[in-house]
Amino acid sequence: MRAKIVGMLAETFVHPGTGQTTGAIDLPVAREAATDYPFIAGSSLKGALLDDYRQQDDEGAKRIFGEQDNAGDLLVSDARLLLLPVRSLTSAFKWVTCPHLLERLERDLKRSGKADAGFNIPAVERKRALAGGSGRLFLEERSFEVTGDVPEDVVEAVGSLIPHKNVRERLGERLTILHDDDFAWFARYGLPVQARNVLDTNKKSENLWYEETLPPDTLMYSVLAQRNGKNGTLDDVKEKIGDYLQVGGNETVGQGWFSLGWRD
């Protein structure tokens, strides 16, 4: 299977919503049922790619993305979470991940036929962290003991999905690996919740609601693959889509923008 891994670095807040209310949040982000990790459904991502592609090549879009009765030449996976930016009292912020997400990345790289997919998945205990520096690391209101550095091969593998050179250069000092269970708390409860409102002509509230988003600098990735051995499909999509893509809701208020890092 010929495939490309596409790194997706959030440039703005992103709302990949579910359209359903849960608890006190009117519009939560979409989450995987088993893990509660935020994700973007493959159907939503494919729709965003189609909208962008169609603006340049309407006829080609029918072949690449398919029509009602015909599947297209392109396969689009869900966009998976890899790094979550978290406020830190130790420094400005940290990019936090966990062994489970790194293992998923390694498996997706191998499934996509990347020869250099292998890297060692580090082990980390609860209440401890692998990160730059030493001593105590404070993330939100939680503290962790730093027990070692993030392995260089992990930094390199994750960095290969980040499109900006200056961002990649900062990755080594900010990347932090937590135990799966510690990371799950930040994935469940650490996302921004924004209050939004509709005002009438007298500036009085007509509709107040709370909306959950992914913060800027969140890193996700997706696997794009070609069907039926149609060579050139992936290169064509990469050329037409380019370096940026808008995904999810709130486009009219400037949200949903990712910069893309295409990895062959």
Q: Cβ neighbours of residue 124 under 8 Å, at least 6 residues apart?
A: 98, 99, 130, 147, 177, 178, 179
pLDDT for res 89: 87
State residue 25's pLDDT score: 84
Burial of 33: CB neighbours in 10 Å, binned 0-12, 13-18, 19+: exposed
Which residue ranges of the chain lie beneath pLDDT 70?
19-22, 115-117, 229
Q: The pTM is what?
A: 0.93
How far CA 29 is from CA of 98, 132, 197, 212, 244, in Å, comes to 20, 30, 18, 6, 21
Residue-wise over 91-127: b if at least 16 C-beta within 10 A, else e? eebbbbbbbbbbebbbebbeebebeebebeebebeee
Q: What is the pLDDT of residue 259?
A: 97
What is residue 215's DSSP assignment? P
Determine phi and psi for 58, rounding to 5 degrees: -65, -40
pLDDT of amino acid 20:
66
User: Any idea which residue has 């990019």 for tokens?
Assistant: 95
Residues 242, 249: Cα–Cα separation, whole Å: 21
The phi, psi pair for 108, rounded to 5°, reads -65, -35
pLDDT of amino acid 71 = 85
Q: Phi, psi at residue 85, to the nearest 5°?
A: -70, 130
Between the two ends of the chain, the Cα-to-Cα distance in Å is 12
From CA 47, how far away is CA 44, in angstroms rounded? 5
Residue 213, amino acid: T
Which pLDDT does position 201 carry in this prediction?
85
For CA atoms 157, 158, 159, 161, give the dihedral sign.
Answer: positive
